Structure 1
Amino acid sequence: MDISPKGVVGSVQRLLATAQNGLEVIRFGGLSHDVESSPFEVVERRRMYRLRHYFPDDATPGRPVVLLVPPLMVNADIWDVNAAGGAVGILHAGGIDCWVIDFGSPATEEGGWERDLADHVLAVNSAIDTVCEATGAQLHLMGYSQGGMFAYQTTAYRYGKGVASIVTFGSPVDIVNGMPFGLPYGLVSEVADFLADHVMHRLPITESMVRIGFQMLDPVKTAKSRLDFLLQLHDREALLPKERQRRFLNSEGWVGYAGPAVADLLKQFVAHNRMMLGGFVIRDHPVSLAELKCPILAFVGEVDDIGQPAAVRGIVRAAPNAEVYEASLVAGHFGLVAGSTATNHTWPIVRDWIAWMDGNAALPEQITPMQEHVAGNAPRTAATRMVHTAAGLAEAGAGVGKVLENIAGNTIRGSLEMAGEAARALPRLTRLGMIQPHTRISLGKLLSEHASRAPQKDLVLFDDRVHTNAAVEERVDNVVRGLISVGIRPAMRVGIMMETRPSALASVAALSRIGAVAVLLAPGAELDRAIELTGVHTLITDPENLRTAATTAARVLVLGGGDSRALAVPTGDRVIDLEQIDPARVRVPAWYRPNPGLARELAFVLVLGSGERLEAKYITNHRWALSAFGTASAADLDRRDTVYCLAPLHHSSGLLVSLGGAIAGGSRIALARPMDMDPGRFAEEVHRYGVTVVTYTWTMLRELLDAQAFPVGHNHPIRLFIGSGMPAGLWRRTVEQFAPARVLEFYASIDGDVVLANVPGTKIGSKGRPVPGTARVELVAYDPVSEQILVGDDGFARRCADNEPGLLLGKAVDGGDISDGGLRGVFRAGDAWWPTENLFRRDTDGDYWLVDRRDTVIRTARGPVFTQPIVDVLNDITPVDMEVAFGLKTAAGVVAAAALSVRDGFRIEPGDITEAMRGLEPGQRPDLVYVVEEIPRSSSFRPSAPAVQAAGLPEAGPGTCIYNRETEAYEVLTAADAERLLG
């Protein structure tokens, strides 16, 4: 210590200066300074915002224009904290016209605490229109943190109109890769969803809570900055240049966060990660960042704990149609936009970016094309920093510490994700197990449960509109009143012939709610015969199918299309427009009880096949619930999924798998318009709706694959395809083109409760194993010629050995009625089983493989030949487009034949067929394989064997091959071979 007179005087002066400055801070909140804000004028005032125009006196023509968007918890002065060294100061000095949107504080704005995220996006959208109109130019939209998220969302919402480029600073996109402290996303998602639904919409976050929260993110840095300030309190000249920034961070810069906006953020972008997947909702409009096509520059803070690098770099996958660049700086979240790093690096880079965009300069060397996977992309949380700091004491310790950190993190994450999947499946399986014949369960009841639990949750997406649970519930109840007014009663069979649309879903649900039976009919498919077969006297249709429906003898009810649509035929006693009935004026009768359906009662009738094979299949509420909950469990569907229903509702896959699984899983349902598989629309809607699961039937995905709706390597949100009937070759092409998505193939018997699912998807072509909670299955020896089950010496059915074809049986419900086609005494006296219509084999692992339908086995002189194995091996030949197998009658007897069509740009040789058929036993190989121009398909996209079979024997020539049993090879059919074959 200096005790000289000079030293003592200096200490006293320092003490006095400290006291004087400290008193000023206590009285006025800080030190007075002469750092002035940049000049601006408010050019527009709206309920949601004020629009600032900085340096309004500068009328230099032709300047590039920027609009800066702050995050919700920081006020708009963030762009001018450092005055001349801040954003607007540096950009203006660089010849750029600066505009800033100011949302104000929800604590002082009218209705501020009721604001949601859509309010802010629409505010930015309005401000863009104003700036573009005022300047006559496109603008560069820039946002910090959540302001950058708004920039992405707003530009996508307006399909890029008026936006020349987007620049963001520490703005996370892929929330899954930006979890704090390495927490598992599944856990964070569950907590976020709970908070959004039950807490945050009632609890606003005040300014003090925001300030304390941000300071707690880095308490060491906060404490250090305050200590540094106290230690320098005597040196006023050293403190003044940073005083404005200090006061901004300590108190003046923070604003509150409205509860509904927090709830939206948690639900849409944390719990459901819809910035990445697409399908986030602005009012009732679904939006995807795939709509972004303008250049994007994202600033990445290498030590940013809020906008973590991996989360920020998610934009390169979320916006696959945009050129995405990045500028990586060693900075934290705040340091990206304010402070010395921002002054010296961020804003000069932004200035140079705009110059490059205008063609006046080269691309700055600090800006590089963004790569999704880069070294150091892992989250750098406070915990990670402590590990790295401690490990820095010993290099070896660092390596071991990192390995242990990764192992522990991956183990915890994997365990929690598995636990989450089990937690979702268990209630579904438990509910399935509790269903008894007298249990009330139905489609209408499940929809009512969803509406009661989460009325504002999104449920249906269609034609770029989103309908909530509450809106769907209201629509269904209105349709119920309309149906009641025209005489629909419980247990009545009512036909539905409609295109896939919300009104079709509402019709099915309304009949379920009444307790009536919905008979689902394919538009344009043998309508009169189907109506006669099912006993339908009333038919619900839409305007598109009205003309066809009116030609039948049934009474026609028209639904959908809105009040202003014109109908093809006049209404009257036989044609009633349900949309003209005012539900409020309908008196609900005393007999009406919503959702009365019992598990044992008939709920739906499906009409399958065509011509002589046209048949009705009857589905009870229990059978529907079995498929619904079984699908939801096998596919692990939950509220984060959006299921895209390509399969029509009149098909079993659409009704039982798509609609049933989505409702049972609590997922969103995206309905696809009849589009003749338009690949362009498919790609747009997958992104816009955030589709994670796509349903299919048979060869439905063929056109999408041929057109490469998503080329290999193109980013998409799809994780799963679910359906039935997909050929093996198409399956392989699907998983290759849509990697890492997989295929979940189902088999569900119409009679009985058999549901198989190939959950792992590793055995392409297999139908998998029984879904837990569904019927127990057995495979019994079966003679397809005599159509008899083979029995042992004890008279009971003989179980099949591994890989032996047999008839698949499903265990009947104890006490259930099996009088219509069931079997008793199969394996023991009194047992009850339902036979399916299909033959299977079971491999040594216990997986089931479809062999044939009982009625399509080819009965040749050498024995039965099964069609499905032939189809599978042919479809796996790369040039083959579609194929069918069937029996052809000749003078010499029935021969096994297969017809195939060839993909454009390919050709097929006899050697290709020979090689493919080596996978079958010689006796199971077809006698003829020939090429046809086209193979017709049914309305469910199933290749039609009868249509090709009806054309008869093919002509000899290069397009037809015959099997030579001596050489075990396929050879071109000659005229002599054809004559011999004909006998």
Structure 2
Amino acid sequence: MRVPMSCMRVPTSCMPVLTHLQAAVEEVLPALQQDGVRVFYLSAASPTPGVEALGPSMEEASDEPLPARHRADITPNSKAIYIFTSGTTGLPKAAVITEKKLMMVANMGRLCGLRASDVLYTALPLYHSAALLVGLGGCLEVGATCVLRAKFSASHFWDDCRRYNVTVIQYVGELMRYICNTPERPGERDHSVRMAIGNGMRAEVWRKFLQRFGPVTIREFYGATEGNAGFINYTGKIGAVGRANAFLKKFSAFELIRYNVERDEPVRNEQGFCIPVRRGEAGLLVIKITKKTPFHGYAGDPEKTKRKILRNVLEKGDAFFNSGDLLVMDHENFLYFQDRVGDTFRWKGENVATTEVEDMLAPVSFIQEINVYGVSVPGCEGRCGMAAVCLRAGMSFQGESFYAQAKESLPSYAVPLFVRIQEALEITGTFKQRKSNLIKEGFDPNVIKEPLFFLDETKKTYVPLSPAVYADILEMKLKL
């Protein structure tokens, strides 16, 4: 993926000083300088002593390719960049991206059908792999045009697409849901978007998007920044992240294995090997580590890398990358994302997949966003369900409607016992919902100042959770 400097040059006059990041840079600058790290502003001038302005150097740079000696020691396995994981299940980790992996991920756009004549639009942050490697990298790979938006705006999304003649959009699931939640307007199908490339779109949002905005080809994929393989749904099967076949299994041997949610570990048989799941059963996705599908791990802490490797999975001496994700394969070999292992919880002897519960409850009319998780209750095994809900503008929480939807669409063990109303849900930089802080805060009305509700089976609704009811739960006077 060699790109002439002339194609990447930004006129110095168009380079604003990033003043909104200046304070953050200056705060850590002494530590960076102590470690020998050079810092640059992508601007014509620098307001910070010790930080260089990159603009003048870019203007002076030659259009000719770099001399071969500058890349003489570069191999496919050389480290190209570090990309921090989004941190949905803990602190972000710096994943090692090699030159070969950078090229392979950048080629995903071509595999999905991205062409040189396309204009791709992304509002995702460039510090993550989706926008940097799949979006921008994909455009550089095929010679397409990339439109970058600094901050996503659902209300301006289609106006931007029309303004820049966008033909391909990049998404994560939450962005598509935001777009579908915007008020309907005339001429919503008046656009030139032919394809959407992304991951994490729920089946209901997928259907709604196509119904509202026209027959856009959806290329849903599955992958992790540090992962050693992934899937692409070429068929348009709604909800699927890909489809297994003999070629895929030969290139990247993967397996779905049984996982004990309570013990947070794979289930092993008498011989000590992992047990593959049956069709239709959720299992932990593991991908064999080979020369073709290597796992390069994380920078700085070997222990973090070791924890992502499962050994002796199917036979003695083998090694598999632990994705941390639960997937399901149906009878047609289609693969569906189920949940993160840290998000799935066990209640009344059953595994509860938070994404499934969210999918079933999201259609409630007054819900803008919903985030389901499990909380510990004294005297009870496992964790019971709780839902953090962001309401649509001008609407209020209606306990009867929420109860009716939950009872009609979910098994009894998956129905949330608690509801927390929030003005906004906490998300990562790539719009993934965070659950860890909500789990820690639990359902204590003495601590949480936002409205809390409790499932009242006798009244068939959700009632306000008072300190008195909370005390009864702690003292086990209320049966859950």
Aligned partner of 1:982 in structure 2 is 474
Aligned partner of 2:302 in structure 1 is none
Determine if the alignment matches structure 1 residue 670 to structure 2 residue 147: yes
Aligned partner of 1:657 in structure 2 is 134
Aligned partner of 2:417 in structure 1 is 927
CA contact under 8 A between 1:777 and 1:810: conserved in structure 2?
yes
Name the CA shift for 1:583/1:825 in 2 (closer, same or farther; >3 Å): same
Q: Tell me which amino acid in the other structure corresponds to 1:972.
A: V
| Alpha-carbon distance, 1:787 to partner | 2.5
Identity between Structure 1 and Structure 2 (%): 22
Alignment of 1:649-798 (within 5 A): 649-672=126-149, 674-677=150-153, 679-680=155-156, 682-708=157-183, 711=186, 713-764=188-239, 766-769=240-243, 775-798=252-275
User: Aligned partners of 2:465 and 2:160: how far apart in 1?
Assistant: 50
* Secondary structure at the counterpart of residue 551 of structure 1: helix
CA contact under 8 A between 1:954 and 1:960: conserved in structure 2?
no
CA contact under 8 A between 2:105 and 2:134: conserved in structure 1?
yes
> Size of the alignment, in residue pairs?
445
Q: Tell me which amino acid in the other structure corresponds to 1:855.
A: G
| Alpha-carbon distance, 1:955 to partner | 4.9
User: Which of 617, 621, 637 matches 2:95?
Assistant: 617
Determine if the alignment matches structure 1 residue 914 to structure 2 residue 404: yes
Aligned partner of 2:478 in structure 1 is none
Deviations 1:292-323 (A, max 9, x none): xxxxxxxxxxxxxxxxxxxxxxxxxxxxxxxx
Determine if the alignment matches structure 1 residue 868 to structure 2 residue 403: no
Q: Tell me which amino acid in the other structure corresponds to 1:937.
A: I
Name the CA shift for 1:547/1:795 in 2 (closer, same or farther; >3 Å): closer
CA contact under 8 A between 1:867 and 1:885: conserved in structure 2?
yes
The TM-score normalised by the length of structure 1 is 0.41
* Secondary structure at the counterpart of residue 750 of structure 1: coil
Determine if the alignment matches structure 1 residue 814 to structure 2 residue 349: no
Aligned partner of 2:301 in structure 1 is none
User: Aligned partners of 1:590 and 1:665: how far apart in 2?
Assistant: 23
Aligned partner of 2:7 in structure 1 is 472
| Alpha-carbon distance, 1:584 to partner | 5.5
Deviations 1:40-60 (A, max 9, x none): xxxxxxxxxxxxxxxxxxxxx
Aligned partner of 1:443 in structure 2 is none
Aligned partner of 1:557 in structure 2 is 39
User: Aligned partners of 2:417 and 2:351: how far apart in 1?
Assistant: 13
User: Aligned partners of 2:277 and 2:154: how far apart in 1?
Assistant: 44
Determine if the alignment matches structure 1 residue 579 to structure 2 residue 55: yes
User: Aligned partners of 1:752 and 1:945: how far apart in 2?
Assistant: 22
Q: Tell me which amino acid in the other structure corresponds to 1:960.
A: F
Aligned partner of 1:802 in structure 2 is 279
Q: Which runs of 5+ in 2 are unaligned?
A: 296-304, 476-480
Name the CA shift for 1:917/1:567 in 2 (closer, same or farther; >3 Å): farther
Name the CA shift for 1:632/1:977 in 2 (closer, same or farther; >3 Å): farther
Alignment of 1:449-598 (within 5 A): 471-472=6-7, 475=9, 542=18, 544-552=20-28, 553-555=31-33, 556-561=38-43, 563=44, 567-569=46-48, 571=49, 574-581=50-57, 583=60, 592-594=69-71, 597-598=74-75
Q: Tell me which amino acid in the other structure corresponds to 1:624.
A: L
Deviations 1:235-254 (A, max 9, x none): xxxxxxxxxxxxxxxxxxxx
Name the CA shift for 1:728/1:879 in 2 (closer, same or farther; >3 Å): farther
Determine if the alignment matches structure 1 residue 896 to structure 2 residue 357: no
CA contact under 8 A between 1:558 and 1:579: conserved in structure 2?
no
Q: Tell me which amino acid in the other structure corresponds to 1:899.
A: A
| Alpha-carbon distance, 1:779 to partner | 0.3
| Alpha-carbon distance, 1:748 to partner | 0.4
| Alpha-carbon distance, 1:798 to partner | 1.3
User: Aligned partners of 2:116 and 2:385: how far apart in 1?
Assistant: 48
Q: Tell me which amino acid in the other structure corresponds to 2:108.
A: G
The structure whose Rg is larger is 1
Aligned partner of 2:453 in structure 1 is 960
User: Which of 304, 315, 322 matches 1:828?
Assistant: 315
Name the CA shift for 1:933/1:744 in 2 (closer, same or farther; >3 Å): same
| Alpha-carbon distance, 1:831 to partner | 3.8
Alignment of 1:367-386 (within 5 A): none
User: Aligned partners of 2:374 and 2:265: how far apart in 1?
Assistant: 21
User: Which of 828, 840, 855 matches 2:342?
Assistant: 855
* Secondary structure at the counterpart of residue 827 of structure 1: coil
User: Aligned partners of 2:153 and 2:138: how far apart in 1?
Assistant: 22
Name the CA shift for 1:703/1:783 in 2 (closer, same or farther; >3 Å): closer
| Alpha-carbon distance, 1:793 to partner | 4.5
Aligned partner of 1:972 in structure 2 is 463
| Alpha-carbon distance, 1:695 to partner | 1.0
CA contact under 8 A between 2:42 and 2:53: conserved in structure 1?
no
Name the CA shift for 1:678/1:839 in 2 (closer, same or farther; >3 Å): closer
CA contact under 8 A between 1:557 and 1:578: conserved in structure 2?
no
* Secondary structure at the counterpart of residue 915 of structure 1: helix
| Alpha-carbon distance, 1:704 to partner | 4.0
CA contact under 8 A between 2:89 and 2:436: conserved in structure 1?
no
User: Aligned partners of 1:955 and 1:711: how far apart in 2?
Assistant: 44
Deviations 1:80-117 (A, max 9, x none): xxxxxxxxxxxxxxxxxxxxxxxxxxxxxxxxxxxxxx
| Alpha-carbon distance, 1:623 to partner | 2.7
User: Aligned partners of 1:873 and 1:577: how far apart in 2?
Assistant: 51
Aligned partner of 1:841 in structure 2 is 328
**Which structure has more helix as a fraction of its residues?**
1
User: Aligned partners of 2:423 and 2:409: how far apart in 1?
Assistant: 26
Name the CA shift for 1:885/1:558 in 2 (closer, same or farther; >3 Å): same
User: Aligned partners of 1:590 and 1:743: how far apart in 2?
Assistant: 41
CA contact under 8 A between 2:197 and 2:220: conserved in structure 1?
yes
* Secondary structure at the counterpart of residue 554 of structure 1: helix
| Alpha-carbon distance, 1:549 to partner | 0.9
* Secondary structure at the counterpart of residue 856 of structure 1: coil
| Alpha-carbon distance, 1:809 to partner | 1.0
Name the CA shift for 1:863/1:503 in 2 (closer, same or farther; >3 Å): farther
Name the CA shift for 1:783/1:595 in 2 (closer, same or farther; >3 Å): farther
The TM-score normalised by the length of structure 2 is 0.79
* Secondary structure at the counterpart of residue 232 of structure 2: strand
Cα-Cα RMSD: 3.8
Name the CA shift for 1:726/1:789 in 2 (closer, same or farther; >3 Å): same
Name the CA shift for 1:622/1:920 in 2 (closer, same or farther; >3 Å): farther
User: Aligned partners of 1:889 and 1:793: how far apart in 2?
Assistant: 32
| Alpha-carbon distance, 1:755 to partner | 1.3
Q: Tell me which amino acid in the other structure corresponds to 2:242.
A: G
Q: Tell me which amino acid in the other structure corresponds to 1:833.
A: F
User: Aligned partners of 1:794 and 1:686: how far apart in 2?
Assistant: 57
User: Aligned partners of 2:194 and 2:233: how far apart in 1?
Assistant: 15
* Secondary structure at the counterpart of residue 313 of structure 2: coil
Name the CA shift for 1:795/1:952 in 2 (closer, same or farther; >3 Å): closer
